[in-house]
Chains A and B, each alone.
Chain A
Amino acid sequence: MKIDNQKLIELIAEKTELDAETADKQLSELVARVKETADKGKALEIKGFGLFFRSRSGKLEFKPSRELETEVNYKYAGMEPVEMKKPRDIADEFTGEAEKSKPEDEPEPEGQKASEGEETDWLDDIWKGEGEESRDADPGDEDISDEDPFGGLMLDDPEEPPQKEPDYSQLKKEKSEPSKRKTKNPINTLVTAFVTVLVIIVGILVVIEFGFLNILTGQDESDPTEVTQIEPKPQAPVEMDTEEADPPVTEEEEQEQDDLPESEEASVEQEEISEIETDEPSQTFGLHGQVMDIDERFFTIILHSMRNEDTARSIRENLVNEGYRALITTHEHVEMGTMWRVGIGQFETLQSAQQAAQELPQNYRDNHFIGIIQ
Chain B
Amino acid sequence: MNSTFIKAFKQVVREELIKKNSVELEGLGRFELIHKKQHQVKNDDGQVVMMPPSDVVEFTPEKKVKS
Instruction: Select which of B13, B31, B52 is within 8 A of A81 by beta carbon.
Output: B52
- Residues A60 and B8 in contact, CB atoms below 8 Å apart: no
A8 within 8 A of B: yes
Instruction: Select which of B27, B33, B49 is within 8 A of A72 by beta carbon.
Output: B33
Interface string of A82-93 (1 = CB under 8 A from B): 111111110100
- Residues B6 and A31 in contact, CB atoms below 8 Å apart: no
* In the bound complex, CA of A178 to CA of B26 (Å): 61
Given known contacts A31-B28, A68-B14, A74-B18, A81 and B51 CB-to-CB distance under 8 angstroms: yes
With a cutoff of 8 Å between Cβ atoms, the chain A residues found around residue B56 in the complex are: 64, 69, 72-73
With a cutoff of 8 Å between Cβ atoms, the chain B residues found around residue A87 in the complex are: 43, 45-47
- Residues A81 and B50 in contact, CB atoms below 8 Å apart: yes
- Residues A69 and B49 in contact, CB atoms below 8 Å apart: no
- Residues A86 and B47 in contact, CB atoms below 8 Å apart: yes
A residues contacting the other copy or chain, number (CB 8 A): 67
- Residues B49 and A81 in contact, CB atoms below 8 Å apart: yes
A298 within 8 A of B: no
A317 within 8 A of B: no
- Residues B12 and A61 in contact, CB atoms below 8 Å apart: no
Given known contacts A61-B61, A68-B57, A72-B33, A11 and B16 CB-to-CB distance under 8 angstroms: yes
- Residues A46 and B10 in contact, CB atoms below 8 Å apart: yes
CB-CB contacts below 8 Å: A12-33 with B: 12, 15-18, 22-23, 26-33
- Residues A2 and B22 in contact, CB atoms below 8 Å apart: yes
With a cutoff of 8 Å between Cβ atoms, the chain B residues found around residue A12 in the complex are: 5, 8-9, 12
Instruction: Select which of A3, A23, A60, A139 is within 8 A of B61 by beta carbon.
Output: A60
A59 within 8 A of B: yes
* In the bound complex, CA of A89 to CA of B46 (Å): 9
CB-CB contacts below 8 Å: B18-56 with A: 18-29, 31, 33, 35, 37-38, 40-43, 45-56
Given known contacts A85-B48, A150-B52, A72 and B14 CB-to-CB distance under 8 angstroms: yes
Other contacts beyond A8-B24, A31-B27: 5, CB < 8 A: A2-B21, A8-B16, A30-B6, A76-B54, A103-B48
Q: List 6 A-B contacts (CB under 8 A).
A: A8-B12, A15-B11, A60-B66, A81-B51, A82-B52, A87-B43
